[in-house]
Amino acid sequence: MTDSNRSAAILEVRGLQVALPSDADRPHAIEGLDLRIEAGRTLCIVGESGSGKSVLATTVMGLLAKGLTLKAGQVILSGETLVEQGRFVSDKRLRQLRGTGMGMVFQEPMTALNPVLTCGEQVDELLRTHTTWSAAERKAHIISIFERVRLPEPARIHASYPHQLSGGQRQRIVIAMAIILKPRLLICDEPTTALDVTTQAEILKLIAELQAEQGSAVLFITHDMGVVAEIADDVMVMHRGALIEQGPCEQVLRSPREAYTRMLLDAVPGMTPPPARSLPGGKPLLSGTGVGKVYTRRDWMGRAKHNTALQDASVSVHRGETVGVVGESGSGKSTFARCMIRLIAPSAGSILWGDAEVRDLPEGRLRPLRSRVQVVFQDPNRSLNPRRTVGSSMVEGAMNFGLSKLHARQTAEELMDRIQLPRTALERYPHQFSGGQRQRLAIARAIACQPQVLVADEAVSALDVSVQAQILDLLREIQRDLGLGILFITHDLRVAAQLCDRVIVMSQGRIVEQGPTGQVFSAPANDYTRRLLAAAPRAELASRQ
C-alpha cells in the first residue's frame, strides 16, 4: 500500500500496546493491534468483556484510564500523529482535537453528563472552548443540533437537567455533543446497550445519517452481533487484548474463520422461540390484578400534578414458569415489577404473594414475607455491598429470613458450586470479580433466601453475548431444579424469545398484548407489538443460515 493511499485513512493504529497493572490477570490490555478506518466507513469491534475494546477507544481519545500504561505503537488521525513510540502528543493538542477531530459517545449517558448542569449548558461549554461564536449563535446552533438528533421540544431540553430526561433522550444529548463540531472520527462505545429496540433503531439510523452527511469514519464498539449485522462495513474481533479475526462484515458474520468468532455468533439468541414447554401449573406464586401507580408532585404554588405511570396491569407467575415483560423505555414495565415486589407502593389493584395479599401491608408485616420474592437487578455493583465479602452478603440475606449462621454458610457454599465459582471466592470482594461473575453472585445471593419467585429486572442487558448466554443457562438450571417462577423484565426481545414461556407487551403504562411467547412473536395482534418486533436488529447469523 502506498503512502498516498494510507493518508486517505481517517484513523490508523499501528502496533498499539497498552500494559495492565502488575497484579492483573495478563500483562497487556492491548497487544500489538493494527487497524485502519476510511472516511464514510464503519468498523465494528466485538469481543467479550475484558477484550480491550474500550481501552482502544480511550487510547485513541487520549483518555487512558489510571493504571494503564501506553507502551508502544502509533495512532494517526487524518495524517496527524497522536501517539508515537509509546507517547501521546501534548495534552493541549489532544484537547483541541476532542470535539473537532474526534468525538466519543459513551455507553452510560448519566456518567457522561454532569448532573448539576442543564443539557444546554453542557453543550455550550464545548462550543465556548472550540469556537468564537456569540452566546446567541451558540444557543441557536445547540437548538438546531437537538432538532437534528430528534429531541422533542429542543428549547425545553436545552433548559432541562439530565435526570429529567429518558435514557434515550440522554443518549441523544451525548450524541449531539459528540457530533456538533462535525468530527472526522466518531467513536461509539456501546451506545445502545441499555436502550430498548425502537430507541436503539433510531439511534443507529441517526448515526448512519450523520456519518453520510459529514463523511465521518465510525469506530463502533459493541457486544451485540445484531447491531453489527445492521451497521458494520468491517468487523474486528478481539479477545484478551489480541486481534482474533477481521474482515468485511458479511465474511466475518457469515463465514467466520476462527472458533472464537463462531462461539460469539452461536451465543446470540435468535428471535424464534423454542417449542412451548409443559409446565406444572397450579396456583400462582405471584399474581397482580388491576395494578396501577400514580405519582403526585406539587408545583411551587402547592398545586398537585398527577402522572399515571401504570394502569390496570395484571400478571400471574406459576411454579416453573417464566413470564416476560417487554416494552420501550417509559412503557411502565419496571414500575409494574417494582409494584409487584412492593419496592414502591401501588395506587390501585390487588397483589398476592401466594395466598397473602400484600398491596397495603406495612413494611413491618411485609418483611417476613419478602423471602418469597427476591430480585436480581441490572447492575450487580449496586446489589452487592462493596465493603463486604460476597460470602458475608449471601449469609446475611439468608440469616435475615431465619436460617442459622451455619446453615446459611453451607447454603452459600453450595450455591457457589451451582454458579461455577470456587468456594474460596466467598472471601473475596465484589470488585475482584468480572461483570458476569458479579451477576452470578447477585443471583446466588437472591437464591440463598430460598424464594418462590425470582424477579429479574434487565438482569442480562449489560452483559456481552457469551456471558449473557451463561447467565440465561444458569437461570434455566436453577428454575428447573428449584421450581422457581421467574418474572423477567427486559428490552431485549431476543432474550425474551428464548427464555420466556409467556410474554406481556407494555406501552405507555398499559398492557397492549400478552400470550404464549411463540404466538406473540409469530403472529402479533397489536400494531405496537409489530413495530417493536420489526425494530429488533436482525440476529439470525452465521450458523443459523
- Per-residue cell: 248: 468485511
Question: Using an 8 Å Cβ cutoff, are 176 and 104 in contact?
Answer: no
Same-domain status, 260 and 329:
no
Residue 51 domain flag? yes
* Judgement on whether residues 327 and 452 belong to the same structural domain of the protein: yes
Q: How far is CA 530 from CA 50, 328, 489, 540, in A?
A: 36, 13, 19, 18
291-316 burial code (b ≥16 CB/10 A, e <16)? bbbeeeeeeeeeeeeeeebbbebebb
Kindly state the percentage of the chain with pLDDT values over 90: 52
Q: Looking at the domain assignment, is residue 415 inside a domain?
A: yes
What 3-state DSSP class applies to 493? helix
The answer to whether residues 95 and 228 belong to one domain is yes
**Percent of the chain topping pLDDT 70:** 97
Write the CATH number for 212: 3.40.50.300
Question: Could you tell me if 371 and 492 lie in one domain?
Answer: yes
**Stretch 197-219: mean pLDDT:** 84
Tell me if 271 is assigned to some domain: no
Decide if 164 is inside a domain. Answer: no
256 and 325 fall within a common domain: no
The whole-model pTM stands at 0.78
**Domain-located, residue 19:** yes
In a domain, 480, yes or no: yes
Residue 114 inside a domain? The answer is no
- What is the rounded distance in angstroms from the CA atom of residue 378 to the CA atom of residue 489? 10
Domain carrying residue 104: 7-109+182-265
Termini Cα distance of the chain: 36
Q: Are residues 244 and 331 in the same domain?
A: no
Half-sphere exposure at residue 238, Cβ-oriented, CA atoms within 13 angstroms:
28
2 has pLDDT over 50: no
pLDDT at 1: 41
Residue 472 lies in a domain: yes
Q: Given phi > 0 = left and psi -120 to 50 = alpha, else beta, which region is 514?
A: beta
Residues 339 and 443 in one domain: yes
3-state secondary structure of 295: strand
Q: Are residues 218 and 326 in the same domain?
A: no
Instruction: Indicate the SS3 state at residue 280.
Output: coil
CA 481 → CA 18, 319, 478, 485, 512, distances in Å? 45, 11, 5, 12, 33
Higher pLDDT pick, 341 / 22: 341
Residues 253 and 380 in one domain: no
CB 73 within 8 A of CB 83: yes
Q: Which of 265, 280, 306 is the last residue in one of the domains? A: 265
Q: Tell me what pLDDT residue 312 has.
A: 96
Contact between 459 and 439 (Cβ < 8 Å)? yes
- Read off the pLDDT of residues 84-120 as tens digits, 9 standing for 90 and up: 887 899 989 998 898 889 999 887 777 789 999 999 9
Maximum distance among all Cα pairs of the chain, rounded to whole angstroms:
77
Three-state DSSP at 38 gives strand
pLDDT of residue 412: 93
- Tell whether 218 and 331 lie within a shared domain: no
Helix (H, G, I), strand (E, B) or coil at 176: helix
pLDDT for 108: 73
Number of structural domains the chain divides into: 2
